[in-house]
Structure 1
């Protein structure tokens, strides 16, 4: 009888054809396993759960079987599941991992389904461990030493969320991102700086001059850069979309605040700037301008950030050119003018009429080459980044 498949809204194909062993141990955070399995599958992975006896008191194996579509390993038999799984899989993920499991695997103790898989996996496939326990256990110097021992053998640890005196399991999206990152290394060792969202220039202490921008493009590019192994610095102005929990970021306000960061930006291998930056500013008035009568403001051009950045930055610089309702030839011509004006290495050009929810279409211009890319926004972001790899 064929096993039932659960359908998901796919996010990326970065884990297509990848087989992930998920080790579930006896932390209360085991209740998050179903959500984690679903997220891994949304990126294309096939998940094979392995559960300990203590975890079975918290979550039933049937839940994991339904979520993954695969039989759950509850005990080791003559089929040597702990060996076969490692031979056939791409990564071993222990989430959640208790202090007990961490200590045992650091000492080579092999007395459960999960520890047995670990003993076979170490040195053969990547291993990601996600701790979840009381804060006193997580900060115990013996546990910390055991974590350091495992790290010395190349085991990847994802820090827990410290809250309410507990080291809670990391967000399921952060865990999935770490798995993707461990298996996708196209940008490993690259430092990518991304600037997105909209800047704003103050008119008074209440009102601003700004541009419409959701910041979605910059966040998608930062997300895919992280997935692909890059060290990502993300600098955001105003945005209206959620930033994934695995991305750290700083905020900027106006053009002057961006210019002040050039010395830190210029240390990057590549700088990508999809930000909607203000073209005009004005002299700020203290307080709030009265609404009881007309008033006028005098606009003056802002410094051209890309030009100032290029004066000090000699690495790969990527700009964006958005238009609306122009022909393909006109779009390319305007993008090439932007490339020449600011000495850019690459320009990503698009007509905003081709953009809709979940879909975009761009033309990437680099040197004499023009590459048309369309589709899901995350996938398009990934294809843009591959041109930098």
Structure 2
């Protein structure tokens, strides 16, 4: 997600600075190169040697005759983005007032003047976060184009955002916004069909691929609606559903304002007439199943011109058979392209897919992490919408 991106990481004196070692590791795991700048207060909380180890680069703890702030964040500087994490109330106020009396605030002043993207992850006690002066400072920074990663309000504290949320915003700040101004609906995960108040019919889909696609679309500038039976995520408006019928209804409604639909969910093919009371165990049971309507058919009927990306999971393990099935569903529904994959990868972090587009073209094989595959799917969708490639 951050391959080839240079991140200048500014650390100020919040107790959340103890999180910076793992944050630096996560940025590097995503492909970034990281160089850290620390305020004097931050060095009292986490030792620069630890940050040096995490980044594999010397840490800037003072501005010298080498003008480190310009070398890192100037117009021809090393950094593609300045990430202030954690950013204290003190740091936010100083940056908003153009006060640069620490290495971190000096780098921020330089970055803002040089049009280097700045991402800020505030962390402080909740009353400080609610102070009108702090709120004014954050509003001013946002008006200057600074991206704020909202903190988690817990236990009377505005705790620094989760690493995944910070990494996502850094990626968005450094990725070409090929999908800016678009609205994309994405489905993810499995659906559940009730048999009784306790038992359900479902499948092994984890939702990782669908959520990765939603994240990749957001990183490229899209507004994303994620329809799923899964957790809230910071990069999409989540519509919570459980059954195939609920997902279909939600997609038909949200697609009214959408530029595209990516149907990544493993939707139940069958439903049952649920009973109101628990079915007693210990005796044979027969359940009558009825086919569920196809979501992409329903959305296509409602929106004949909407670009739709379909997913097709097969168990054959044969590429030719997967492509044939993908072409069949592509032609039947009029899909922009189909993501074909072997069902054996359900739940895994690594995957392999075949992207099957218009008739007469070869399928494209994409392998790697689900984030990497999702990025390629997002790029192909941008091309379909004439916004990339």
Structure-2-length-normalised TM-score: 0.89
Alignment match, 2:90: 100
| 1:176 match | 167
Name the CA distance, whole Å, in 1 between partners of 2:90 and 2:126. 14
1:281 is paired with a residue whose SS is strand
2:101 aligned residue (111, 133, 142): 111
String of CA shifts for 1:44-102, please: whole Å, max 9, x gaps: 21111111111111111111111111111111111111111112211111111111111
State the shift of 1:296 in Å. Answer: 2.7
CA contact (8 A) 1:182 1:229 kept: no
1:65 to 52, 61, 66: 52
- 1:253 maps to which of 242, 249, 271: 242
Residue in structure 1 matching 2:262, options 272, 279, 288? 272
User: Structure 1 residues 88, 267: CA separation in 2 closer, same or farther (over 3 Å shift)?
Assistant: same
* Counterpart check, 1:381 vs 2:370: no
Pick the aligned partner of 2:185 from 193, 212, 221. Answer: 193
Q: After TM superposition, which residue ranges in structure 1, 4 or more long, deviate above 6 angstroms?
A: 242-245
Tell whether the 8 Å contact from 2:89 to 2:128 is kept in structure 1 after alignment.
yes
- Is residue 219–residue 243 contact of structure 1 (8 Å, CA) maintained in 2? no
| Contact 1:173/1:245, CA 8 A, preserved across alignment | no
What is the CA–CA distance in structure 2 between the aligned matches of 1:355 and 1:259, rounded to whole Å?
22
Give the corresponding residue for 2:147: 156
In structure 2, distance between residues paired with 1:97 and 1:326: 49
**Deviates most, 192-201 or 94-103:** 192-201
* Partners of 2:338 and 2:357 within 8 A in 1: yes
Q: Distance in 1 between matches of 2:273 and 2:376?
A: 42
Name stretches of at least 5 consecutive residues in structure 1 with no aligned partner: 1-13
Aligned residues of 1:173 and 1:244 also touching (Cα < 8 A): no
Deviation of the 1:186 alpha carbon: 3.3
- CA deviation digits over 1:192-226, x for unaligned, max 9? 22112111222222222223322222122223223
Equivalent in the alignment of 1:16: 3
2:133 pairs with 1:147: no
Aligned to 2:41: 54
TM-score by length of 1: 0.89
- CA–CA distance in structure 2, aligned partners of residues 176 and 100 of structure 1: 23
Q: Relative to structure 1, is the Cα distance of residues 32 and 280 closer, same or farther in structure 2, using a 3 angstrom cutoff?
A: same
The 8 Å contact of residues 355 and 361 in structure 1, kept in 2 or not, is answered as: no
User: Structure 2 regions of 5+ residues with no counterpart?
Assistant: 383-389
Task: Report the secondary structure of 1:154's partner residue.
Answer: coil
RMSD of Structure 2 on Structure 1 (CA): 2.1
Mapped partners of 1:111, 1:326: distance in 2: 61
Shift of 1:248: 5.5
Looking at structure 2, the residues matched to 212 and 67 of structure 1 have their Cα atoms a distance apart, in angstroms, of: 36
In the alignment, is the contact (CA less than 8 A) between 1:34 and 1:64 conserved in 2? yes
CA contact (8 A) 1:40 1:47 kept: yes
Q: How many residues align structurally?
A: 373
Deviation at 1:119, TM superposition (A): 1.4
Do 1:129 and 1:158's aligned partners in 2 also have CA atoms closer than 8 Å? yes
- State the alpha-carbon separation in 2 of the partners of residues 96 and 298 from structure 1: 56
Give the Cα–Cα distance (whole angstroms) in 2 for the partners of residues 324 and 315 of structure 1.
29
Tell me if the contact between 2:204 and 2:347 (Cα under 8 Å) persists in the aligned partners.
Answer: no
> Could you tell me which of 323, 341, 344 is aligned with 1:350?
341
Q: Deviations over 1:365-387 (max 9, x none)?
A: 12122222223332122112211
Tell whether the 8 Å contact from 1:171 to 1:245 is kept in structure 2 after alignment: no
**Secondary structure at the counterpart of residue 179 of structure 1:** helix
Counterpart pick for 2:323 among 332, 348, 357: 332
Tell me what 2:110 maps to: 120
Helix, strand or coil for the counterpart of 1:347? strand
**Aligned residue number for residue 366 of structure 1:** 357
- Identify which of 196, 205, 208 aligns with 2:197: 205
The answer to whether the 8 Å contact 1:173/1:246 transfers is no
CA offsets 1:3-31 (integer angstroms, 9 cap, x no match): xxxxxxxxxxx323322111111111111
